[in-house]
Structure 1
Amino acid sequence: MTTYRNFPMVPRVIFGNGSFSQIGDILKLKRKSANAPFIFLIDDVFKGKELAARIPLVENDKTIFVSSEFEPKTYQVDDLVEQIKAEYNELPSGIIGIGGGTLLDMAKAVAIMLTNPGSSAEYQGWDLVKNPAIYHVGVPTISGTGAEVSRTTVLLGPERKLGINSDYTPFDQVVLDPDLTQGVPKDQWFYTGMDCYIHCVESLEGTFLNAFSQSYGEKAMELCNDVYLKDIPEDESRDKLMMASWHGGMSIAYSQVGVAHALSYGLSYLLGVKHGIGNCLVFNHLEEFYPEGVKLFYKMMDKHNITLPTGICKDLTEEEFTTMINVALSLEPLWENALGKDWKKTATPEKLRSIYAKI
């Protein structure tokens, strides 16, 4: 008899413009004691801004501003955990991540590592976490990554870029307030939204596809088409992209991503290229694997006057190419989803190098 994975989902979610104002009431029910604070990890672009002033600090709650300029790293997670443990006598009541994928992944990782020994680098992989995370909440301020709903927290470690994939990773509560995504720079809005679009393409065209993944992936794809190819009001666009991100994240819960994400991980690990633009840089050269998806991607770029940077890899040494290739090839589930069990016949080091050389 087939044994199916029993995946967790986010148990509580609130959606709506202005819903962030309810976070104080939500957290009030989860406070363990006056000595167990809530720790808010917030993107430092909001330092001194209105959003930071709206955080409902009570008792000895604390806000920690974190830069999202670069991909989240395992040593950053370890440093935050050490800082929190040194400052308080008991575990916090919860961790709240406010920002894009970087901050959401940091919040999930910190919540896990407060109850698990060692370094977060030791948990990069699948189902290595033994102890439940503390209560953690995700508040996205940009849409596309699906980090708010996924069971992974993607980190750059000393040896690889790889998620902490576990049943304890998903948030206990998510607050989806489209108002918080106002003012996102256009290029960032595009690149992060394309992360969602590429989730859909890779899920819907993967060998792991099933009715569960397909239902979410198709809805996310429909929403992405509305946002990036149609002329709709800005407030409607924000709502739809936020739900596209949610559905796109769900579409890979029971399947996987594919070639673009695997290659993008190599770029991020070696060059620090951020995830959204990294996916775009790679996807731009994947007509061989996703011909229809890439064709639509070109239409989206053209409509929004997006020009991708070029020459990213032109000065790399053979050793550096090899590093990227090894990181990409280590993500075996992604390749199997994209190409099937015989994926190694197609995804050769030579093939990967030829793609990286075009970027």
Structure 2
Amino acid sequence: MNDTPPMFGALRLPRSILFGRGQRAALGSTTARVGRRALLCTDERQAAQPEFAAMLADLAAHGVETHVFDGTIPDLPLQSIDTCIEQVHTFAPDVVIGVGGGSSIDLAKVVAVLLTHGGSVRDYYGEFAVPGPVIPLIAIPTTSGTGSEVTPVAVVADEERGAKVGIASPHLIPQVAICDPELTVTCPPALTAFSGSDALTHAVEAFTTLARPIDPLLTEEHVFVGKNVLSDHMAKLAVTNVFTYLERAYRDGSDIEAREGIMLASLAAGCAFGTAGTAAAHALQYPVGNLTHTAHGLGVATLLPFVMQFNRPACAPAFAELAELIGLTGEDEAARSQAFIDAVADLFARIDIPLSLEALGLRADQQDFVAEHSLDAARLIKNNPRPLDLPAMTTITRAAFAGDRASLVAA
């Protein structure tokens, strides 16, 4: 009798993904097939790059009229979204292109929703609140980390709530993702480090999310459906590439092979978590990011080794499998799973990721706030492989603040 459990897999992806050096040259032709009036969402630095000017020329050569909004602000405060809508309302774009890091691509997503369906950004918080398809989206990442070019989520900063909030809907997945590693060569070392660490966090959390009971309606009832055989494949590709290429890209930004490898890792990790979801590290990062005003990737990377240590009793086999994937050995599953957690922490230390929340800038009197408000991210909490409540989040937060993974071994 075969006791192997049945397989289940799910992926939600763009209609087209282009990856490789020089692929940005396909933008004009690609855009012209879906629209003739393109809004480009980017930031001031990106808009000044010669590569961006070349993209505008390519669009013009293919008969596409453009409007550039270069006012993207990191973490995407609601005011910046309103400003963009005010500027482009009369332009009436029929395609929206996000060029830049995660905030620029997320801005494109949210603006596409508002231009299509109207209302306020707050109308779309949570899962499945976007009522239908949106203006076609094209995403061109210039960093290797967020994976937003292939995911169904956008994160905004709601200053009135004092919180970052997610909008999650399959309608947010861009129609086309163009991933050109040449656009990342100018990323400074720090941005390379925390972007790549973000990709590893996405991959590890996607690979260890709670697997849900198999149900034909799972993807209809949940944006993030948990660990599955297809997302696992993408997550493993991402983990392999991060360990192979991230430190190289950090040490030498002109290493184009490393830039290719880490951009592929980011893309694969986005494919993985865009369907499987993420968990505790991302839930904790929401309040941490609000309090410390630090980059998302920096926060999740600081938290990840502590979350992994807490989760290890629930997913030691998965950690052991990832250990074997990157060539780590150990006499048994327990040793290999711990070796993988240690390897993640060691990699982050070598690329100067902070070793504790205190080093990240969190104050001691803010720890309880972080633990309490991390539970607000219900879509992430339900994904964690080990049950989470306030005492559990407090335990993780205090260990991460002190930089004391050892305290989580027996937790």
TM-score, length of structure 1 as denominator length: 0.86
- The alpha-carbon deviation at position 30 of structure 1 amounts to 2.3
- Which residue pairs with 1:247 in the alignment? 268
State the secondary structure of the residue aligned to 2:149: coil
The residue correspondences of 1:211-222 to structure 2 (distance < 5 A) are 211-222=229-240
Moved more, 170-179 or 286-295: 286-295
Deviation at 1:301, TM superposition (A): 3.1
Counterpart residue number, 1:298: 345
2:83 is the alignment partner of 1:65: no
Say if 2:10 and 2:231, in contact at 8 Å, map to a contact too. no
Pairs within 5 Å for 1:261-300 = 261-286=282-307, 287-289=309-311, 291-300=338-347
> Where do 1:55-94 residues align within 5 Å?
55-56=56-57, 58=60, 60-68=65-73, 70-85=74-89, 87-88=90-91, 91-94=92-95
1:351 to 395, 398, 404: 395
Cα gap change, 1:332/1:5 in structure 2, threshold over 3 Å: closer, same or farther?
farther
Distance 1:299 1:104, change over 3 A: same
Moved more, 230-239 or 137-146: 230-239
Amino acid corresponding to residue 19 of structure 2 in structure 1? F
- Segments of structure 2 that go 5 or more residues without pairing to the other structure are 1-7, 212-226, 313-337, 404-411
Shift of 1:336: 2.7
CA contact (8 A) 2:15 2:175 kept: yes
Aligned to 1:40: 40
How many residues end up aligned between the 2 structures? 345
For residues 219 and 6 of structure 1, what CA distance do their matches in structure 2 show?
16
Does the 8 A contact of 1:178 with 1:238 survive in 2?
yes
Q: Which residue of 2 aligns with 1:162?
A: 165
Q: How far, CA to CA, are the matches of 2:72 and 2:186 in structure 1?
A: 18
Query: Which residue of 2 is the match for residue 324 of structure 1?
Result: 370
Partners of 1:129 and 1:307 lie apart in 2 by: 37
Which stretch has the larger CA shift, 248-257 or 301-310?
A: 301-310
Which stretches in structure 1 are left out of the alignment for 5+ residues? none
TM-score (norm: length of structure 2): 0.76
Root-mean-square deviation (CA, aligned residues, Å) is: 2.8
1: distance between equivalents of 2:276 and 2:10? 13
The verdict on how the C-alpha distance between 1:207 and 1:142 changes in structure 2, with shifts beyond 3 A counting, is same
Deviation at 1:304, TM superposition (A): 3.7
1:140-289 to structure 2, matched below 5 A, reads: 140-157=141-158, 158-159=160-161, 160-208=163-211, 209-228=227-246, 234-286=255-307, 287-289=309-311
Greater share of residues in helix: 2
Deviation readout 1:263-293 (Å, 9 max, x if unpaired): 1111123332211111122225443335545
What is the SS of the residue equivalent to 1:337?
A: coil
Tell me if structure 1 keeps the 8 A contact 2:246–2:262.
no
Aligned 8 A contact 2:69 2:84 in 1: no
TM-superposed CA distance for 1:7, in Å, is 5.9
Secondary structure at 2:14 match in 1: coil
Deviation of 1:356 (Å) = 5.8
Deviations 1:300-319 (A, max 9, x none): 134445555844455464xx
Aligned mates of 1:219, 1:66 — CA distance in 2: 34
8 A Cα contact 1:260 1:282, kept in partner: yes
Q: Alpha carbons of 1:78 and 1:314: their partners in 2 closer, same or farther (altered >3 Å)?
A: closer
* Distance change >3 Å, CA 230–CA 62, structure 1 → 2: closer
Aligned to 1:13: 17
- The secondary structure found in structure 2 opposite 1:71 is coil
Tell me the distance in 2 between the aligned counterparts of 1:149 and 1:227. Answer: 21
